Amino acid sequence: MYDVWKNALAEIEQQISAANFSTWFQDTSLISTADGNIIIGVKNSFYVKQLRNRYLDIIKIALKNNNITVNQIDFEVKTNTKPKTEPHEVINTRDTIKEHIKTIRNINSSTIANGLNQKYTLDNFIVGSNNDLAVSAAKSIIAAPGTRYNPFFLYGGPGLGKTHLVQAIGNELLKNNPNFKIFYTPISHFYSDFIDAIQNGKGREFNRKFEKLDCLIIDDFQFIVNKEKSQEEFFNIFNDLYQLNKQIIVTSDRLPSQIKTVDERLATRLTWAGAFDLQLPKFEDKCAILKAKAELMGAEIEPEAIEYIAENINTNIRDLEGELSTILLMSDVRGMTPLELIKNGSVSVNKSSKIRPTSPKQIVEKVAKYYGLTTKELCGKSRVTNIKSARQVAMYLLSKELNLSTNKIASEVGVKDHTTVMHGIKKITNDLKINFTLRDQIEEIKEKIYG
């Protein structure tokens, strides 16, 4: 039973954010599966409420995928490591399960086999300035798959909603046409299944799985590095589907041309219809996301609390959601509103940046040292490319980390015109969208600043 739950948890972990998985599933256990009556052990009744309201479908599907019959799911609060059966602490969800079974039966049965998670929809995907172009393309695909945006290549850093958006496309396509044949898979599953097929002499059967698809969705394409045979197989599948005007959707954390060892022919084909990126959400976008997530959880949170979280989490949407879950959990346990918790110091938001540097000088020195320059060289008048680029990085960091004015930044890096600073900041901002080497460099510099 331990192995069954371990496998189920591994599947659930792929479907939700790392923060939410750690918060809600870390201390759960599978107590019983007798006669299809599932009993899951949890820490307290608040966990029961959250698991029942938010994750019941995911749990059910994960168990069924591990050959467990599910007729009913109950949750049992555990007070120690040994399961303790107390009738008053077992919350029966038979009626809820019946409703979910009814919902699932109304949707084409392939929604489980095709890898799609029904929780990902366009209705609960928050559209902002950081993703509006990608969403617009997604809607075009839903309206006419296999035409304008084919292939659809979506890229961006972790936790920005790539998986959500591409699975939402798949779910919307199925809603429009229940007979539409869709298959979603992370690239790691693609190549592991391919290797198994080759080892078992079933290479042709593996290829045949894709021949009749109307839409193929490949997630986390960046992990195909050093998988030459898998690349070749995917290249052939890609060509076959493309020639038949079948929709191909691929996500990655970077552009194909920036993924080491990816065949140039494949990299070029993946961006035939362009590439769409998901960027970090701006303050207003983060507030909208937090408000929508709270409503989805059926929780109340003050606007001031939402703004506090939005101001202090500058990494990604996944971290936003995780911080919100943590605060709402503490709010329920302590009987205080989220804003009360924040005001009296009961919670400390995990800010994305550490303590700010004491002076602009520290940033300039760290940038210069990182690029093998002296401070005098960086702040001089040289137009040599590597020195100019380092100077622009310093401008960018002075703006983003210290919120300095362009005039102040100009004086710190030795340029006279604040418009030069504006140009430098804009150039680095735009380069960061497609240059992942630059992203890594800036993160390394920040580590040295705050380390």
CATH number (domain holding residue 19): 3.30.300.180
CB proximity list for 95: less than 8 A, separation 6 or greater: none
Does residue 126 sit within a domain? no
pTM of the model: 0.61
User: Do 189 and 218 form a contact (C-beta atoms < 8 A)?
Assistant: no
Residue 200 is part of a domain; what is its CATH number?
Answer: 3.40.50.300
CA distance linking residue 205 with residue 207, whole number of Å: 5
If asked whether residues 159 and 248 sit together in one domain, one would say yes
If asked whether residues 315 and 391 sit together in one domain, one would say no
Domain assignment of residue 293, given as a range: 283-343
If asked whether residues 314 and 257 sit together in one domain, one would say no
If asked whether residues 184 and 68 sit together in one domain, one would say no
If asked whether residues 196 and 181 sit together in one domain, one would say yes
Residue 351 confidence (pLDDT) above 60: no
The highest-confidence range among 10-24, 115-129, 234-248, 282-296, by mean pLDDT, is 234-248
Does residue 176 sit within a domain? yes
What pLDDT is stored for residue 169 in this prediction? Answer: 97
If asked whether residues 148 and 264 sit together in one domain, one would say yes
How far are the Cα atoms of 27, 379, 434, 442 from residue 391, in angstroms, in the given order? 49, 7, 20, 13
If asked whether residues 273 and 288 sit together in one domain, one would say no
User: Do 163 and 120 form a contact (C-beta atoms < 8 A)?
Assistant: yes
- In the three-class reduction of DSSP (H, G, I as helix; E, B as strand; rest coil), residue 28 is classed as coil
Domain boundary among 277, 299, 325: 277
In tens, the pLDDT along 378-403 reads 999 898 999 999 999 999 999 988 88
Does residue 321 sit within a domain? yes
- What the block records as the tokens of 441 is 């460099």
- For CA atoms 393, 394, 400, 401, the dihedral sign is positive
In tens, the pLDDT along 72-110 reads 999 988 754 333 333 333 334 334 333 433 333 333 333
- What the block records as the tokens of 164 is 């959500």
CA proximity to 397, closest of 358, 350, 360 = 360
What pLDDT is stored for residue 248 in this prediction? Answer: 98
The domain tally of the chain equals 4
If asked whether residues 145 and 229 sit together in one domain, one would say yes
In tens, the pLDDT along 292-343 reads 888 888 888 999 999 999 988 877 888 888 889 889 988 888 889 999 988 8
The confidence band for 352, taking pLDDT boundaries of 50, 70 and 90, is very low
If asked whether residues 314 and 410 sit together in one domain, one would say no
Main-chain phi, psi angles of 158, to 5 degrees:
-65, 150
Does residue 112 sit within a domain? no
- In the three-class reduction of DSSP (H, G, I as helix; E, B as strand; rest coil), residue 382 is classed as coil
The more confidently predicted of residues 346 and 188 is 188
Q: Characterise 384 by phi-psi region: left (phi > 0), alpha (psi -120 to 50), beta (else).
A: beta
Q: What count of other Cβ atoms lies within 10 Å of the Cβ of residue 78?
A: 20
Residue 317 is part of a domain; what is its CATH number?
Answer: 1.10.8
If asked whether residues 155 and 251 sit together in one domain, one would say yes
In tens, the pLDDT along 231-286 reads 999 999 999 999 999 999 999 988 888 887 888 899 999 999 999 989 888 889 99
Does residue 420 sit within a domain? yes
Main-chain phi, psi angles of 146, to 5 degrees:
80, 10
Does residue 117 sit within a domain? no
CA distance linking residue 298 with residue 277, whole number of Å: 31
Does residue 125 sit within a domain? no
Q: Kindly give the residue spans of alpha helices, DSSP state H, lying in 244-313.
A: 264-270, 283-296, 303-312
CA proximity to 80, closest of 33, 25, 27 = 27
If asked whether residues 227 and 272 sit together in one domain, one would say yes
Residue 357 confidence (pLDDT) above 60: no
Does residue 353 sit within a domain? no
Per the omega criterion (within 30 degrees of 0), is the bond before 256 cis? no
Q: Tokens 């109340």 label which residue?
A: 300
If asked whether residues 271 and 373 sit together in one domain, one would say no
- What the block records as the tokens of 15 is 């479907």
CA proximity to 218, closest of 182, 261, 260 = 182
Domain boundary among 243, 277, 311: 277
State the greatest distance between any 2 C-alpha atoms of the chain, in Å, as a whole number.
78
